[in-house]
Structure formats: C-alpha cells, structure tokens
Chains A and B, each alone.
Chain A
Amino acid sequence: MQPYTKHESIAALMNRSNVDTDQIIPKQFLKKVERSGFGVHLFHDWRYNDDGSDNAEFELNKPAFKGAKILVAGDNFGCGSSREHAPWAIADYGFNTIISTSYADIFYNNCFKNGILAIIVSQAQLDALMAEIAANEGVKFTVDLENRQVTTPAGNGFTFEIDPFRQGNLLSGLDDIGLTLKHVDKIDQYEVQHKQNYPWLWA
C-alpha cells in the first residue's frame, strides 16, 4: 500500500445518497481473478451510454472533474455488497479520498485496506462543501491526514476525526497482516485455550 501523503486535488461532486456497490462496480466485472484494472469500469452503468461512449450527463464525466482525487458524496455511501472490487475500482480510477456523512460498514473497512481515506463530516459541513464545488467546479481541496485537516479556498475547511490506528496505517502504508502477525504468540496461546474450552470445534 502507498503511504498517504498531504495533497491538493480537484474535488468531484456526487450529490446522491445511498450510492451502492452494485453501482460503483456492476457485477459483470466481478469475474476477474486479478486485483487491478477495475478503474475503467467504475460506475459503469451510469458512466457509459449503451454504445460504450461516455454519458455526458454523468457527473464524473464533467471535464472540470477530470483528475479528481477527492470524491464528495451523499450519505450511506458504499452500501450493499461486500465486494472489495468497489474500493479497488475507486482507487484505480484515481480517487484516494472520499468525503461523506456516512458509509456502509464493510465498504468503510475496505477503503482503508486500499489506501483510501474515507472522511466523515456533518450534514452542514457536507452541504457547504457541495455548495462550494457546485459554485466552482474544478475547485481544489487540500487534505492533510497527519493533522486531520481539510482546507478549501472558500474557507469551508475542518478538522476530522479518525481512528488513530487507521490513520497510522494509511500514513505508513503498513500491511495489516504483518501487524497482526506480530501477535502470533498470543494467537497461539488463545488457540490452546480455545481447544480446551470448545473441544467440539476441533473434533
């Protein structure tokens, strides 16, 4: 995983609630056995016309949002299926930050495993950010994960909360499994106890 560094990037606006993982990456793209190359399929059914051309009506196809690393979206983002193909597609497309009022649990966890910072804001903060983008499409926000700060040209910046463990992992780009395996002796001990307490699970 790439370490997450402070950046100034275009913020794209997706003013929709309950964006589900079936929309983020439709099921016809889940058959691949690789982890890469999902970016071209991100939001496929909204993004492309039936003939495969770009749908000009779809917000992320606006020229002003090209190259955006920050996605500002409505509440309950990423609901539905557990498919990690959703954050893979988001990251492969180029986003490394999402800002919303809430996320579905599994999707939220999946983001942090893939170098994506999912920031939670209040409804008032989200409204202000959305209004700023709508008034000035192509506007760039600055995200500073170390200091947990977002700043914007119109002064809608804020400090956000994040679990220090997740923050540390994103900043260092550390692999979760490696971290857990530092506790392998504790896992071994637990398993010995587990076999004594619940022998029928090991029969």
Chain B
Amino acid sequence: MKKTMYEKIWDSHLVVDVEGQAPLIYVDRHLMHEVTSPQAFEGLKISGRKVRNPHSILATMDHCVPTKNRNLPIADLIARKQIETMAENCLENGLNLYDMKSPNNGVIHVVVPEHGFVHPGMVVVCGDSHTATHGAFGALAFGIGTSEVEHVMATQTLPQKKSKTMLVQVNGELSKYSTAKDIALAIIGKIGTAGGTGYVIEYAGDAIKALSMEGRMTLCNMAIEAGARAGLVAPDEKTYEYLNGKEFAPKSALWEQALAYWKSLPSDAGAEFDTVITLNAADIAPQVSWGTSPEQVIGVDAFVPAPESFDNEGKRKACESALAYMGLTPNMPITDIKIDYVFIGSCTNGRIEDFRSAAEVAKGTKVADGVTAIVVPGSYHVKEQAEKEGLDKIFIDAGWEWREPGCSMCLAMNGDELSKGQRCASTSNRNFEGRQGKGGRTHLVSPAMAAAAAAAGHFVDIRNL
C-alpha cells in the first residue's frame, strides 16, 4: 500500500492499538519550557512516578526570561519562582537544561534544531503549540497539554487519535520579496484557522523544496495557526546537510544507517491524501494581518476589508469586532496603517536568516519618529552569529534595540509588551486580542516587511523599495 509520510511515522510508532482505547504512540523526543511543565512534575511526584527516559528530554527557559539586564535577578517574583522551579525539576530528574545563563539558551523551537536534537521520522512533543516547527525536518511534532507532558514523562507514550492527511501543494517560484512567512499566512488566509483541524498537513511543491531549513521551520511553525495538529516537509539533501555534524546528530556508521532510513520517509508517489490544497507561489504577495485572527490577513497591496465583503454572518461579525479592536476603517489601504512598535523575533522568525533579511532592509535607514523597534534573537547562538556578521551594528545604527534571546513580545509574558492602543508590526505568529499586551494591536508580517515598516512608520510594499 502506498503511504504518506505521516502514515509511515504513525505506523512505526504504534505501541498499542486495542479495541476500545485510543492508540498509544511512542515519543522519541520531549521538549520543555518553564510555563507548561511545573504542574506535570508536581503530578509525577504526587503519584510516585519517575521520568522514564531522561535522555529524550531537552529543556530551556524562554517564555518568562527578560531580554535586557539579564545579569540582574528577575524582578517579577512569580516569574522568578517559575524559572527556579524549572531548574529544580530538571536537576532532580537528571534532565538536560539550557538555563538562562547557558550559552545554548534561547527559544525552545530555535535551540532544538541548532543542536540537531530532532531528526526525520521522529515523534516529538512539547507543551507548546508551536512544536509544529520541527515538522520542517520530516518529524511528526506537535503541541500537548500539561497532563500529556506528565503522561509522556511517565510512559514515553501518548494516547492519540490518528489524524487525517492534507497535502498543501505550493507550486512555482516565490517572488524574491515574499518569504516562508508569507506562504504560511497566505495558506491560513485561504483555509482559515480551523481549516486544518483534525489534519496533519504535508507541505510540498517547488516553492517548498526551494525553502531553506529556516524557511521550512517558519512554515511548519504556523501549521498550528491553520488549526492542524502538525505540519511536515519531506526530508531532502538540505535537511541532511543541516543536521550533519550537529551535537545530537548521528555520527559515522550510525549516520549512514540513519540516512538510509530518512530517505525512506517521504510520501510514496501516488499516496492518497484526504484533502489537497493548491497555491501558486508567484501569486503570494508580502502579507499583513489586519484583524485579531491569523486568518484575517491580506496582501500588502490590498485594502482593509469591509464586513459586508464576507459572505457568511460569522465572518462578518468577526470582521466588525476585529476592525473595532484594531482601530481600522474598511477599505483603507494597508500601506496607510501607521505603527508605533516593531518586533522581530520569536520561534516563527527568530533565526539567522530572518535577521539577515531584516538587516538588508534596515541597512542605512532610521527608525521613524515615535516608533520603538526591537530585535530579539531566537537564541544566544543566533545572536552570536548575527554579531559576527555585523547585523547588530546595522540595527543599532538604524535606531533599533538589540536584545538578549527569549520569546519576548510574541506573547509578552516577560514584561516586553505593548500598552493600550499601541500598534505593532510583528514577526510573531498570533494577532489575538491582548496577545502583545492588553489593548495592544498586532499585525503579523515577515522580517523584511517589519524592517521596512520601522523605517517608514507605516506598512510599505517592499516590492516598491
């Protein structure tokens, strides 16, 4: 039988499949951060259970960590307690932790690939919806809740319902101004935030093959915003080249053995998917979200939609309330939207390639009057590499703040946040009400679009620069 990549990974990880119970699948890698794990450790302790496989776990601190004055104790006492609890839990259970002081520290979904901890064909989980990122390697990677974090620690397995499969085929070549982020947003704009519910998406087509590993991570990262359980890209030479030599990648004879296995993973020719969606890459303009859901997104050359342009009552109402919250008027050009803040970073766009593309646009410009612009590298390794290339200097000369790594303004848990009514061009993944601070307004864009908006003080079509 011809199988999709998802089906191959599923079948090879099935531990128990008995009538009347959810199938149990085996978990190869378990990623952790400070926010969604403490209650799982507590549960484990109360029930007298142990971590079954400590070497399957890699942990970091990212959500609550400050991005400046890192040498000082964390001022927020509740956040400090959470960070300390993480350190205690990892020590007690013998887990590998990249704490705040570690040169390996950073956002979990940036750090993990840097060390080659995830390989093709694995099942990977984390108490974090953006675990989907690691699908870029052809691993089945998905977010879980805290009860499930405890379940995986205790049993190395997870009861799972088999997902349906969706193929998102992106044909042709992307314009040089559009990025993986724009593909991700365009797909969500097309299928909606519930369009992928119940599915695992496999991204394929020439435009996907052409993406770098960083680009594929950005794309798969936002599979969750399309409602999907996970996103996948078939491994290829780029994947192998990226992994080769990394700390946790297989070495010598084992590398050859792993490689042979990885090459067997891509979906068989003619394998059937439950749903197929097709996009033409050349049609994807740089995207800007205008509302309070990632599906409320449009090309930068377009206009803010009017509620009456939607054909269903629910979407009309959602448009009305989004425009009210966002303080926008129907039919205004996207390029007329003025901004107060710019954030470049996050597990979506916090990798070296993102800072290179933003720096290219920021070079020789100045941040517009009244605009605050911050750059938050996804990890210390990204920061170091960027500094080696002189990117920090480009941003600082242009009037940006160059920060320490962390999740920062993606979800504004660490004190970096918008105040009421402020509007932000953000390279993160969610534009929900209050996500970047109560009353804050978020527009999701690519790093280059964010850099252009910082200099102009409003959105600009980077194709015209």
Residues of A within 8 A of B (CB): 17-18, 20, 22-23, 26-28, 30-35, 45, 74-76, 79-84, 87, 102-106, 109-110, 113-114, 163-166, 168, 175-177, 179-181, 183-184, 186-187, 190-191, 194, 197-201, 203
Contacts and interface: CB of A to CB of B under 8 A. Distances in A.
Interface stretch (B15-23, B346-354, B452-460): B15-23
5 contacts: A22-B435, A26-B434, A76-B227, A82-B36, A83-B145
Given A114-B147, A164-B20, A186-B16, A30 B35 contact: yes
Contacts of B310: none
Contact of B129 (A76, A80, A165, A186): A80
Given A180-B159, A198-B261, A31 B229 contact: no
A106 B257 contact: no
Contacts of B12: 197
Contacts of A17: 314, 317-318
A22 B250 contact: no
B193 A18 contact: yes
Which of B119, B147, B148, B413 has most chain A Cβ within 10 Å? B147
Contacts of B127: 82, 84
Contacts of A33: 38-39, 42, 81-82, 85
Contacts of B20: 164-165, 168
A22 B145 contact: no
B198 interface: yes
A26 B430 CA distance: 13
Interface in B117-151: 119, 121-122, 127-129, 142-148, 150-151
B432 A200 contact: no
B78 interface: yes
A87 B156 CA distance: 24
Given A84-B147, A164-B20, 18 more contacts: A20-B432, A31-B76, A31-B82, A32-B78, A32-B82, A45-B434, A75-B194, A81-B430, A102-B194, A106-B143, A110-B145, A113-B147, A176-B147, A176-B151, A177-B47, A181-B155, A198-B261, A201-B119
Given A76-B197, A83-B35, A180-B24, A31 B151 contact: no
A109 B204 CA distance: 29
A100 to B, nearest CB: 11
Nearest to B163: A105
Nearest to B229: A105
Nearest to B147: A113
Contacts of B76: 31
B148 A203 contact: no
A194 B122 CA distance: 11
B65 to A, nearest CB: 12
Interface string B397-423: 000000000000001110000000000
B211 interface: no
Contacts of B432: 20, 22-23, 80
Given A75-B194, A113-B148, A177 B258 contact: no
A22 B430 contact: yes
Interface residues of B, number: 72
A179 B21 contact: yes
Nearest to B251: A203
Given A45-B434, A82-B145, A105-B227, A18 B293 contact: yes
A79 B227 CA distance: 8
Contacts of B142: 106
Contacts of B412: 27
B114 interface: no
A69 B127 CA distance: 27
B12 to A, nearest CB: 8
Contacts of A110: 145, 147-148
B47 to A, nearest CB: 7
A84 B47 contact: no
Contacts of A197: 12
B202 interface: no
A35 B261 CA distance: 41
B155 A177 contact: yes
Interface in B156-194: 156-157, 159, 161, 193-194
B64 interface: yes
Contacts of A76: 193-194, 197, 227
Contacts of A22: 411, 430, 432-435
Contacts of B85: 33
B255 A23 contact: no
Interface in B74-116: 76, 78-79, 81-82, 85
Interface in B29-52: 35-36, 38-39, 42-43, 47, 49
A109 B42 contact: no
B16 A183 contact: yes
Contacts of B193: 18, 76, 79
